[in-house]
Structure 1
Amino acid sequence: MLQRPATVVLSALALSGALVCALARAADAPVIGLITKTETNPFFVKMKEGAVAEAKKLGAKLLATAAKADGDNAGQVTALENLVAAGAKTILIAPNNAQAIVPAIKKARASGVMVIALDSPTDPMDAADALFATDNYKAGELIGLYAKAAMAGKKPVIAMLDLYPGHPVGAQRHNGFLKGFGLPTLEADSNELARPPEVVCMADSFGDRTKGQTAMENCLQKNPDINLLYTINEPAAAGAHKALKAAGKEKNMLIVSVDGGCAGIADVGRGVIAATSQQYPLRMAAMGVAAGVEYAKTGKKASGYTDTGVTLIAAEPQAGVDSQDVKTGASLCWGKK
């Protein structure tokens, strides 16, 4: 009955076109999945943060999920299956179990999904298309070198709070520490833990503060003369320090660790930890998302191992050992700029 003004018609057409373009962009956005070991560990919180930021920057759709706890392989298998069903063409995963996750990864890859391991390798490593991770053996070596220099010829009585049996990252850090300290050890491709005579106690901490405290209490019962402590990560170190303080032994203990999170660097500044090897989970995730977008655009898959970097952070530098100070560590903690 009434003729619409031309301007209204054009506006409607313009709006319709914009909506179609927006929907097309959303449909074309590559879907990338992220599976971490847990949702609560600050390391994996930072990893997710890096993935979210990079996905937003590159116009990708990120679907993030996690297992229930460290060691939960079944949860990660389910997550892999769900992400494939949701249309993810790249899946980034920090494996809880390097071997048990392999069949699920093979199934995903067979369907055309690129799978990139973050932080921890699969076993075998080539079960995934690529690995973006810290050189964990080097991370162990760095704190071993530091501990050797800081002990200044004092006879070492060593306790080692590890991750859990068979985990490649735990083995690499453990054996790398021994190499850096100059003790008999195993090479980076071993999942076994070397134990020279200087190591009087080894215990699994699962990278957990409470378990680290219990493990240290047990080690002190075995040998109250322990003067050097290696821990798999900084939460385990914090728990161990609580046990040492309760026993009145914290002042005579040199603690070295790995991770370089903001809380861990603060502990270096407070003298709880003497030195830590800082790694960069935000960088791992961002690189993984970028590789996923590249795969979606060009079909080119990432491959092999990419070292995402490691830096020794120490409050008190040691002669002949390259390290950065606490201020630097705090400015870079886990990839923060």
Structure 2
Amino acid sequence: MKKLFGLATATAMLLGSTAPSFAADTLALVVSTLNNPFFVTLKEGAEGKASELGYELLVLDSQNDPAKELAAVEDVLNKDVKLLMINPTDSDAVRSAIRAANRKDVPVVTLDRGASGGDVVSHVASDNVQGGEMAAELVASVLEGSGKVVELQGVPGTSAARDRGEGFNKGIGAVAGLEIVASQAADFDRTKGLNVMENILQAQPEIDVVFAHNDEMALGAIKAIEAAKRDILVIGFDGTDDAVAAVNDGTMLATVAQQAGMIGALGVETADKILKGESVPEYTPVPLKLIQK
């Protein structure tokens, strides 16, 4: 495994701070993927706060692969890293990585996505259930309580996909006239969002609204809808720059905006308190807001 991971490690280290010292003030951040604007913003928020508080920050990219995630964590644990922040690729699969940190007595903070096992000191994230409910309330309002809905799910097994879906389905289920006619995973990916939506459009002659668990899938779905020349409203989740632009130009109805940079910054603030021996909450919620034109 070490031979196979050597190049990935070298590449990942380039993503971190320049010439990390691995001294007493070094933190590690392992991100599920940096091929997504939301997580790039999260990383930037963490970097800014780490610089402000005087920490070196080593950033590694798991590339949406649990095996690479575990290898990245094992790599940083062999260095003098004092705390691990991790944005899991999968809430179940990340347990092995967290337990590896536990064995080394390195505190763990999860960001955006939670973990279903291992000892985590604190979790910093938006209330994804509430965000799903906010999207459902908007659907009920614009459709006046009656219509057909499509749900594009995120990566199965992630807490974000589970919680956003839970909140959305709860909200839609509370309105008798609303029906979810298709619910399929597109893995938080724009291209997959486009491809999955194309297939759904062929199978479903009547669709009024699409809710995607993130903006990348929503933007992909919009391309498929435009190509099919259908009139369908789309709601995303995250509040990325591309999504906000799409809302402003009228191609997307709304996005439930997370504050990615704040999640990263609060993660570092939480890490700072832990390393200073201060108490921190098990869960720090980051406010959401609905962005509409």
Match of 1:85 in 2: 78
Quote the residue 2:115 is aligned against: 122
Structure 2: segments with no counterpart, 5+ residues: 1-20
Per-residue CA distance 1:303-330 (angstroms, 9 max, x = gap): 4111011111111xxxxxxxxxxxxxxx
Length-normalised TM-score, structure 2 = 0.87
Contact kept, 8 Å, 2:133 with 2:170, in 1: the verdict is yes
Number of residues of Structure 1 aligned to a counterpart in Structure 2? 272
- Quote the residue 2:154 is aligned against: 163
User: 4+ residue runs of structure 1 moved beyond 3 angstroms?
Assistant: 26-29, 181-184, 300-303
From the superposition, tell whether residues 38 and 58 of structure 1 become closer, same or farther in structure 2 (CA, over 3 Å).
Answer: same
The answer to whether the aligner puts 1:239 opposite 2:220 as a matched pair is yes
Please tell me the root mean square deviation across aligned C-alpha atoms, in Å.
1.9
Counterpart residue identity of residue 224, structure 2: A
Within a 5 Å distance, the mapping from 1:281-292 to structure 2 comes to: 281-292=260-271
1:158 corresponds to which letter in structure 2? Answer: V
1:202 counterpart residue number: 183
Which among 277, 284, 287 is matched to residue 306 of structure 1?
Answer: 284
Partners of 1:205 and 1:127 in 2: how far apart? 30
Identify the match of residue 51 of structure 2 among 38, 53, 56: 56
Q: Give the SS at the match of 2:147.
A: coil
- Deviation per residue, 1:264-293 (Å, 9 max, x gap): 111111112111110012111111112222
| Greater Rg by CA | 1
Quote the offset at 1:207 in angstroms.
1.2
TM-score, reference length from structure 1: 0.76
Separation in 2, partners of 1:261, 1:127 = 31
Deviation at 1:156, TM superposition (A): 1.4
Contact 2:86 2:109 in 1 (8 A): yes
SS of residue in 2 equivalent to 1:76: helix
State the match for 1:175 in structure 2. Answer: 166
Matched AA of 2:277: G
Query: Which segment is superposed worse, 136-145 or 172-181?
Result: 172-181
Cα contact 1:238–1:272 (8 A) shared by 2: no
Q: Cα distance 1:302–1:87, how it changes in 2: closer, same or farther (>3 A)?
A: farther
Aligned pairs (5 A) from 1:181-200: 181-183=172-174, 198-200=179-181
Match of 2:144 in 1: 152
8 Å Cα contact 1:159/1:201 also seen in 2: yes
Q: Helix, strand or coil for the counterpart of 1:142? A: helix
Check whether the contact 1:29–1:59 (CA below 8 A) recurs between aligned residues.
no
In the alignment, residue 37 of structure 1 is paired with which amino acid? S
Match of 1:268 in 2: 247
Contact 2:233 2:252 in 1 (8 A): yes
Q: Secondary structure at the match of 1:273?
A: coil
In 2, the alpha carbon distance for the partners of 1:201 and 1:29 equals 51
Encode CA deviations 1:47-71: one digit per residue, 9 max, x unaligned: 1111111111111111111112x2x
For the 8 Å contact 1:30–1:293, the answer to whether it is kept is no
Could you say which residue in structure 2 is the equivalent of 1:253?
232
Matches for 1:8-157 after TM superposition, within 5 Å:
29-68=24-63, 70=64, 72-124=65-117, 127-153=119-145, 155-157=146-148
**Offset of residue 40 of structure 1:** 2.1
